[in-house]
Amino acid sequence: MLDSLRKAASTWIAKLLLGLLVVSFAVWGISGQILNDQSRSVLTAGDASVSMLDFRLAYDRQINALSQRLGTRVTREQAVAFGLDDQVMQQLAAGVLLDEEARQLGLGLSSDKLAQLTAEDPAFRGADGRFDRQQFDFVLRQIGMRPEDYLKNREQVAIRQQIVEAATDGIAVPDELLKNMALYRGEDRTVEYLPLPRALVEPIEQPEDAALQTWFDERKADYAAPEYRKFTYVKLEPSDIADPSSISADQVQKAYEDLRDRYTTPEKRAIEQIVFANKDAAASALKDLLDGKSFADVATAAGKTAQDTELGTLARSEIPDSALAEAAFALDENQFSDVIDGAFGPVILNVTQITPEVVQPLAEVEDEIRQDLALEEASRILLDVHDSYEDARAGGATMAEAAERLKLTPRTIEAVDRNAQRPDGSIVNDLPQSAELLREVFDTDSGVENAPLSLGGSGFIFYEVEGITPERDRTLDEVREKVAADWTQAEAVQRLATRAAELAGELKDGKSLDEIATAIGQEKQTKRGLRRTANDADLGQSGVAAVFSVPRNGTGIFANPAGDGQFLFRVTEVFEPASASPESVPENERDAVRAALADDLLDQMVARLQGKYPVTVNRAAMQEALSF
């Protein structure tokens, strides 16, 4: 009941505002009847109650949270199937019990403290990071809540928090429990295991017709043909209406000149530098260069290595120090500079190679420029084309006729199921916005003119269902090959499981793994130092779990994680960790245990309060609240 009550109490207002914001606008537009009838309550405990509006808001927040997790809008019927009604009731019952206990204890909240809590809420902060009354009014107005209702709810939650903190603050996890956790985590084992491949029971004979028919009849739904739909769509994106032939030579020339930098590889220079500690050292080095010493010798004399002097092959714009850039690009190849005042001290530069600027001629990039200009123009007129298509359909034109007028290309998918699979098993893998388009195609009816599907702001998809082939049961003859393969697979798994159980019995009765290995022609494997938390590549998580589910000398069977057999195993050694202290348990796990203990205490407290203040549920009010 209280899985998240303790955490929710400390962050209630942020969740409340988020939940309210995602409640559909329609609810707010028609909720006046609920707001104006606060006397009717869905839940009561003593003098505390939950109004119809509060119940509806809590319910809608849960619906939205579940819809986000599932990636689809949850219906009322689905919510009931998920048990959402009971979940919301349990959460609200816990809250109303805390409210009544607070009332009985005379707990309250000063107006100053309430003002402080409100001012600290990040939802109400302005650009300066402080409480902003206009922001406060705006947020509440957006969600349809009056300031007095917000303050009342905020006060209610703060008072609940007093009870929660009194019950859970200061909870410490016993050291003995943490020590046992450390022992549990730190234990390692040695396991011997023997692969039991499917080859032990293969080959599997072909099934008799009667056996295959029985198998098929018991699993007919697994082989049913899904619903298929035939539909046509027209994609409208800039690339679908771009017309490069409409772009003039003058437009291309102007774009080439405007975008000259795009088609230009700038001049680059291979540059060396020597950075000196002071001007005197730089002046002395310059004299040596002028006297004929090489740049490398002068650099070595200055205590610089080749790595110290190599600046790189750079364009002017890639040199961050403008003084160095100016000097470097004023030199000829194999020429050194005067002393320059660099950002890090006096510098002498040397240019060892010059790579000239290269400009792609217009002839090489003309087609690219023309295509880009055509796409820009198409983007500009995209909405006009969209409107023209809609006007044509409104005037009675078919999808094909409207597309032809606008030089768009319809594409027909003859048959596809919800998973983009054709009847022959191949996949339609080139649909635009495939998942969303197919979802819409299967949500509409044949012959209906549908609203276009948006392509994320870059265009539209117009679509129309032209035929529906209902799902149906297939006959055995239609899927005989697949049914036979499935039967063979299942029969092999079953026979191997039976054989594995027999071998496990022999191992438990005293046969060694070595003897069994010799008998079945397999090689025994040994793994040492296996930890309980390991995700072992050979054994898999389920295998590790099986190994740690038995005591020393225990035996068992688990599926090969590769999916092609089983493993027979015996645990031969069990080692406790050399040291197991409370401190060795990770902090996040200690926090999780502490939170679990706190939740247990809260569960016990609420259970006690239920006996003290019976909760009354008004089912009629609940159903009325959900009907808006």
**DSSP notation for 250-267:** HHHHHHHHHTGGGGEE--
Question: What's the pLDDT tens digit per position in 549-591?
Answer: 999 999 999 999 988 899 999 999 999 887 778 877 888 888 8
Q: How large a percentage of the chain has pLDDT more than 90?
A: 57
Say which amino acid occupies 613: Y
* pLDDT given for residue 144 in this prediction: 67
More confident residue, 268 or 601: 268
Helices (H) and strands (E) in the chain, counts: 26, 18
**What's the N-to-C CA distance of the chain in angstroms?**
27
Mean pLDDT estimate for the chain = 87
CA angle 410, 413, 414 (to 5 degrees): 125
- Three-state secondary structure call for residue 232: strand
Amino acid identity, position 449: E
pLDDT above 80 for 269: yes
In 3D space, the residue among 302, 260, 262 whose CA is nearest the CA of residue 284 turns out to be 302
**How far is C-alpha 504 from the geometric centre of its chain's CA atoms?**
43
Question: Is pLDDT at 34 greater than 70 in this prediction?
Answer: no
Mean of pLDDT values over 431-457: 92
Cα 88 to Cα 40, 94, 376, 616, distances in angstroms: 18, 10, 53, 15
pLDDT score of 628: 64
Residues 6+ apart with CB under 8 A from 111: none
Summarised one tens digit per residue, pLDDT across range 364-373 is 999 999 999 9
The DSSP secondary structure of 99-113, one letter per residue, reads HHHHHHHT----HHH
**pLDDT surpasses 70 at 12:** no
Nearest to 193 by CA among 572, 511, 545: 572
Average pLDDT over residues 491-518: 95
The string of pLDDT tens digits covering residues 476-489 is 999 999 999 999 99
- Kindly report the three-state secondary structure assignment for every residue of 435-447: HHHHHHHCCCCEC
In this structure, are strands 453-454 and 188-197 parallel, antiparallel, or unpaired?
A: unpaired
pLDDT at 271: 95
DSSP letter at 452 equals P
**pLDDT band (50, 70, 90) for residue 427:** very high
- Residue 98 burial (C-beta neighbours within 10 Å; 0-12, 13-18, 19+): buried
Task: Copy the structure tokens of residue 532.
Answer: 């309980």
Find the mean pLDDT for residues 211-233.
95
**Inter-CA distances, 74 with 61, 62, 63, Å:** 12, 10, 7
Q: Identify the pLDDT of residue 488.
A: 94
Q: Is the pLDDT of residue 25 over 80?
A: no
State the pLDDT at residue 122.
Answer: 83
- Whether the pLDDT of residue 36 is over 60: the answer is no
pLDDT (mean) for 53-69: 83
In CATH, what number does 188-218+481-575 get? 3.10.50
DSSP state of 464: E
Q: What is residue 143's predicted lDDT score, i.e. its pLDDT?
A: 64
Nearest to 331 by CA among 248, 405, 272: 272
Q: Between these two residues, 374 and 16, which has the higher pLDDT value?
A: 374
Fold type of domain 267-356: Chitinase A; domain 3 (3.10.50)
Distance of CA 593 to the CA centre of its chain: 27
- Res. 145: pLDDT tops 90: no
**DSSP assignment, residue 419?**
T
pLDDT at 186: 85
- How far is CA 80 from its chain centroid? 27
Give the whole-angstrom CA distance, residue 110 versus residue 159: 10
pLDDT band of 30, cuts 50, 70, 90: very low
Q: What is the fold of 5-170+608-627?
A: Triger factor/SurA peptide-binding fold (1.10.4030)
* CB contact at 8 A, 56 and 34: yes
Q: Is the dihedral of CA 93, 94, 97, 102 positive or negative?
A: negative
Round to whole Å and give the CA distance between 56 and 625.
Answer: 6
Q: Where are the domains of the chain?
A: 5-170+608-627, 188-218+481-575, 228-238+379-469, 267-356
Q: What is the pLDDT of residues 526-535, one digit of tens each?
A: 999 999 888 8
Q: In 369-438, which ranges are E strands? A: 410-416
Q: pLDDT of 374-399, one tens digit each?
A: 999 999 999 999 999 999 999 999 99
Which of 141-145, 252-256, 451-455, 594-598 bottoms out in mean pLDDT, i.e. has the lowest? 141-145
pTM over 0.85: no
DSSP assignment, residue 245?
Answer: G
Say if domain 228-238+379-469 classifies as CATH 2.40.10.
no
How does residue 6 score in pLDDT terms, banded at 50, 70 and 90? very low
- Topology match between the domains 188-218+481-575 and 228-238+379-469: yes
State how far the Cα of 87 lies from the Cα of 68, in Å rounded to an integer. Answer: 17
User: How many angstroms separate the CA atoms of 435 and 72, rounded?
Assistant: 12
Contact 17, 123 (CB under 8 A): yes
Cα–Cα dist 446/466, whole Å: 5
Which residue would you say has higher pLDDT here, 163 or 382? 382
Render pLDDT for 293-334 as a digit per residue (tens, 0 to 9). Answer: 999 999 999 999 988 899 999 999 999 899 999 999 999 999
58 vs 293, more confident: 293
User: In which order are the strands placed within the sheet that holds 410-416?
Assistant: 410-416, 228-236, 460-469, 453-454
Tens digits of per-residue pLDDT, 404-421? Answer: 999 999 999 999 999 999
